[in-house]
């Protein structure tokens, strides 16, 4: 067995002992990668593998090489594979570090974005509050306008009523006149004045208040609400 030793694989060592061909070393086929008791045994059957470049299934012969040489070659191959794997593991480990620090950067980018979005919303809110102040003060101006017109009309009406009251008192005094000639002399003029005053008061009363008590203005927030609801993140070009 000693000359056939390759590492300490027990199975490999057992294959060295071919009962039909004593002394022949164990064999390995480079084509189908099968193990044989010896190279002569390998020659007695067809090779099914195409790995070694054999063309045509079943008709090819094995390509047996002595097991120790095959073992040495495969150890070299495995070492190379090991080295490649080790280098790949190093790259993988660097990539893993990148992924780990990547999640930190994702978090910090989120914080930056959140601050920017908060600032944008704050400025929307403050624009809305400014607009509210502007519109409330428009409403206050509208109220002032209505109150001024109403005060003016009330003052006009009060003035007319005062004149009417004066005329009434004058007429009451006139009715006390006992001298027919004196009464007749002014009664027609007084009647005209009373009728004129009556018409004037009637005009003022029937025309009603100069301004409406209602505020004929409306605020329609619907388009703004639609715009707010349609706010969404967009992706940069
Ligand atoms: Zn044999
Ligand atoms: Zn083979």
Same domain, 72 and 104: no
Q: Which residues pair with 46 in a beta bridge?
A: 61
Same domain, 129 and 210: yes
Same domain, 204 and 117: yes
Distance 51 CA to ligand 1 centre (A): 23
Share of the chain above pLDDT 90, in %: 66
Distance 34 CA to ligand 2 centre (A): 6
Q: Specify the 3-state DSSP secondary structure of 224.
A: helix
Same domain, 85 and 107: no
Count how many Cα atoms sit within 13 Å of the Cα of residue 220 in the half-sphere of its side chain.
3
Same domain, 107 and 157: yes
Model pTM score: 0.56
Residue 121 pLDDT > 90: yes
Average pLDDT along the chain: 88
Average pLDDT over residues 171-187: 93
What element of type H or E holds 147?
A: helix 67-175
Closest-lying ligand to the alpha carbon of 70?
A: 2
| Cα–Cα distance, 63 to 68 (Å, whole number) | 15
């Amino acid at each position: 067995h000693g000359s056939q030793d390759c590492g300490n694989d027990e199975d490999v060592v057992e294959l060295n002992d071919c009962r039909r061909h004593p002394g022949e070393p164990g064999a390995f086929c480079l084509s189908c990668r099968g193990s044989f008791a010896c190279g002569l045994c390998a020659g007695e059957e067809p090779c099914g593998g195409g790995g070694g470049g054999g063309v045509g299934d079943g008709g090819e012969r094995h390509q047996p090489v002595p097991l120790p040489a095959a073992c040495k070659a495969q150890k070299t191959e495995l070492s190379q594979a090991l080295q490649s794997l080790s280098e790949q593991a190093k790259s993988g480990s660097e990539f893993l570090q990148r992924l780990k620090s990547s999640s930190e950067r994702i978090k910090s980018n989120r914080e930056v974005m959140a601050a920017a979005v908060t600032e944008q919303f704050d400025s929307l809110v403050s624009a809305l509050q400014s607009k509210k102040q502007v519109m409330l003060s428009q409403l206050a101006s509208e109220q002032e306008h209505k109150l001024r017109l109403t005060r003016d009309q009330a003052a006009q009406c009060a003035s007319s009523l005062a004149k009417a009251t004066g005329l009434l008192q004058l007429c009451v005094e006139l009715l006390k006149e006992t001298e027919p000639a004196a009464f007749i002399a002014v009664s027609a003029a007084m009647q005209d004045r009373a009728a004129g005053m009556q018409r004037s008061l009637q005009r003022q009363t029937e025309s009603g208040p100069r301004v409406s008590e209602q505020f004929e203005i409306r605020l329609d927030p619907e388009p703004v609400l639609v715009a707010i609801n349609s706010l969404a993140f967009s992706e940069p070009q």
